[in-house]
Amino acid sequence: MEKAELYEMFQKGLASVAGECCLASKADLAAVLVEIFRKKDTQEVAIVESPLLKDTGVVSALKAAGIKTDTDYIRKNAPDDKGGVTEADYGIANLGSLVQMKDNVDDRIVETVADVYVGIVKLSKIVDTFDTMIDIMAETKPFPKFAGIITGPSRTADIECVGTVGVHGPRQYSVVVVKDA
């Protein structure tokens, strides 16, 4: 399947669970994140800096835009920050899901406690189906301490079947797919 088709499938899958998605070049990633957080009126963001996020100057762009950015002491700072950014290891196109396979607990904290979460995934790391992802996970050695599949904003319903968004995770969920070239 071509990259453009995978992106379109990913975008449709994410939209079906009330998530938002956009495609960006590496050069535009920082500006796209600034725009997302401005639109969502998010003034404080916890970021787990991956090499991609460091290389693209995300933290300095957010700070220049007047957005408070925490990159360390994540356990202490992330619960008070409204926004969060992490880079996912993979995306699953037909589900619009992100896949985290990490040993670092900071990624899990940011993904869970952020009210406005933005996941970053490289276009080359999007696979077509859950079955393909399971095959990749089965071949991963050593397997990380944590593997999670994140699909859209957090949703739950109480015993009276009243649906609520954002109780066990983000209320607003966006993904920026980054072109590899």
Q: What is the pLDDT of residues 36-81, one digit of tens each?
A: 999 999 999 999 999 999 999 999 999 999 999 999 999 899 889 9
Give the pLDDT confidence score for residue 72 in this predicted structure: 92
Q: What is the pLDDT of residue 166?
A: 47
Q: In the β-sheet with 126-127, what is the strand arrangement from edge to edge?
A: 126-127, 90-92, 97-102, 146-150
Q: What are phi and psi of 77, to 5 degrees?
A: -90, -35
Confidence (pTM):
0.89
Residue 52 burial (C-beta neighbours within 10 Å; 0-12, 13-18, 19+)? middle
pLDDT at 68: 96
Residue-number span of the structural domain to which 101 is assigned: 3-178
Q: How many domains does the chain have?
A: 1
Residue among 114, 101, 113 nearest 50 (CA): 101
Predicted pLDDT at 115: 87
Contacts of 42 (CB under 8 A, 6+ apart): 67, 82, 83, 115, 116
Give Cβ neighbours of residue 62 (< 8 Å, ≥ 6 apart): 30, 33, 34, 37, 45, 47, 69
Any idea what the CATH number is for the domain that residue 99 is in? 3.40.50.10420
Q: Which residues of the chain have pLDDT under 50?
A: 165-167
Q: Would you state the pLDDT for residue 157? A: 54
Q: Residue 24 forms beta bridges with which residues?
A: 178
